[in-house]
Amino acid sequence: MTSRAQLGQLSDVEVRLLRVFRSVVDAGGVSAAELELNIGRSAISRHLKDLEIRLGIVLCRRGRGGFALSDEGRHVYEAALRLLAAFDSFRSEVNDVHHRMTGNLSIALFDKTVTNPDCHITDAVRRFDVIAPEVTLNVHVGATNDIEKGVIDGRFNIGVIPAHRSSTSLDYLSLFPEHMYLYVGHGHPLYAMDDILIDDAMLRTHKFVGLGYHSPNMEIGNQKDFERHASCYDQEAVATLILSGCYLGFLPEHYAKSFQAQGLIRPVNCSLFTYLCDFVAIHRRSPRPSRIAQAFLNCLSDSHG
C-alpha cells in the first residue's frame, strides 16, 4: 500500500477490527484465531484487509508462507493493546458507578507457581468468584519482564512475579515465598559426588543454565560468578536442560520435587546454593485499580494472610 491514511475519529468499526487483529496476533495466525473469534477464515481475512485499508498500512503477511507481523503491524498491535485495555478500564469505571462487578479482569502469573504450598492464588480466585461471579477472568502466564511491561502499559490489571526490582510506576503487595535450590540431573558429573567436595570454583567448571532476563535467578548467577552457557525463558525450559544431565541450574523446590523423587535430579549442597524469592502482586500506581481489580487484590491479600 503506497497511500498513507490518516485515522480520524475512532468508530465502533475500527475498535471491532482492532479486536479481531489482536486476536489473530495473539493466536499466531488467521486459522488459529477461528475458534477464538467464532468466525471463518475468509471473514477474518476480510476484517484484516479492511483494517489495513483504513490505516493505510500492511499489518501482516498471511497465507501459505505463514503469519508474520510487519514492523508497522507490530507498532499497531502494541498501540491496540493499550487502547483496548483503556476501553476495558473505562467499562470497569462505569460499572463501578453502578456498583456492579462485571467486565474483564486480566491477570498475568509467573510460571510454575501452582505447586508451591505457600501460593494460595487458587483460594483467592475462589473468594473472588463469590463476590464477582459475573467478571470474566483472562489469565496469562509469562516471564517477569513481560508481565511488568504488560501491567505498566495496561494490558494486564494485575501481575504476580518474583520481586527483583522496584518501579515507581507500580505498587507491590507481598504474597508468598519460594525456595530455590541448585540442581543437577542424573548422569551429570556432580550427581554422584559428595556435597562436601563441591564448592563455587568446581561449579564454575560446569555448564550453567539460567533465566535470560532480569530476575532473582539472574542476580544469584551473577553473584556466584556462574557463566551462563544456556538461557531459558521459563522454569520448564530450565528443568529440561537440567534433566539432560549436561547443565546445572536453579529450580523452585516444590517444582523439582517430582523429578527428585524419581531420581532424575538432585539438589547440590542445599546449605550453600540456595536463595529465597518473595512473590508479589503488582498493579499500576496510576490510574488507581478499578473496583474489580482492587477486589481481586483484596482476595490475594486475604488468601496469603
CB 105 within 8 A of CB 293: yes
CB 109 within 8 A of CB 143: no
Residue closest to 151 by CA, chosen among 299, 5, 297: 297
Q: What is the DSSP string of 132-193?
A: -TTEEEEEEEE-HHHHHHHHHTTS-SEEEEE-----TTEEEEEEEEEEEEEEEETTSTTTTS
Question: Are both 2 and 83 inside the same structural domain?
Answer: yes
CB 19 within 8 A of CB 84: yes
Q: What is the DSSP string of 143-154?
A: -HHHHHHHHHTT
- The pLDDT score that the predictor gives to residue 2 is 46
- The pLDDT score that the predictor gives to residue 209 is 97
The amino acid occupying position 209 is V
Longest dimension (CA), the chain: 71
Domain total of the chain: 3
CB 230 within 8 A of CB 209: yes
Question: Are both 152 and 198 inside the same structural domain?
Answer: no
Question: Are both 171 and 181 inside the same structural domain?
Answer: no
Tens digits of residue pLDDT in 140-179: 999 999 999 999 988 899 999 999 988 899 999 999 999 9
Q: Determine the number of helices (DSSP H) and then strands (DSSP E) in the chain.
A: 11, 11
Question: Are both 31 and 96 inside the same structural domain?
Answer: yes
Q: How many CB atoms lie within 10 A of CB 129?
A: 12
Question: Are both 146 and 288 inside the same structural domain?
Answer: yes
- The pLDDT score that the predictor gives to residue 6 is 56
- The pLDDT score that the predictor gives to residue 4 is 54
Q: Which domain holds residue 264?
A: 177-277
Give the C-alpha separation, 21 to 44, whole Å: 9
Question: Are both 288 and 164 inside the same structural domain?
Answer: yes
- The pLDDT score that the predictor gives to residue 99 is 63
Give the pTM: 0.70
Question: Are both 68 and 212 inside the same structural domain?
Answer: no
CATH code: domain of residue 267: 3.40.190.10
Give the C-alpha separation, 125 to 130, whole Å: 9
Question: Are both 224 and 251 inside the same structural domain?
Answer: yes
- The pLDDT score that the predictor gives to residue 11 is 73
Q: How far is CA 291 from the centre of its chain?
A: 23
Q: What angle do CA 267, 147, 73 make, to 5 degrees?
A: 130
Low-confidence stretches of the chain (pLDDT < 50) are 1-2
CATH code: domain of residue 39: 1.10.10.10
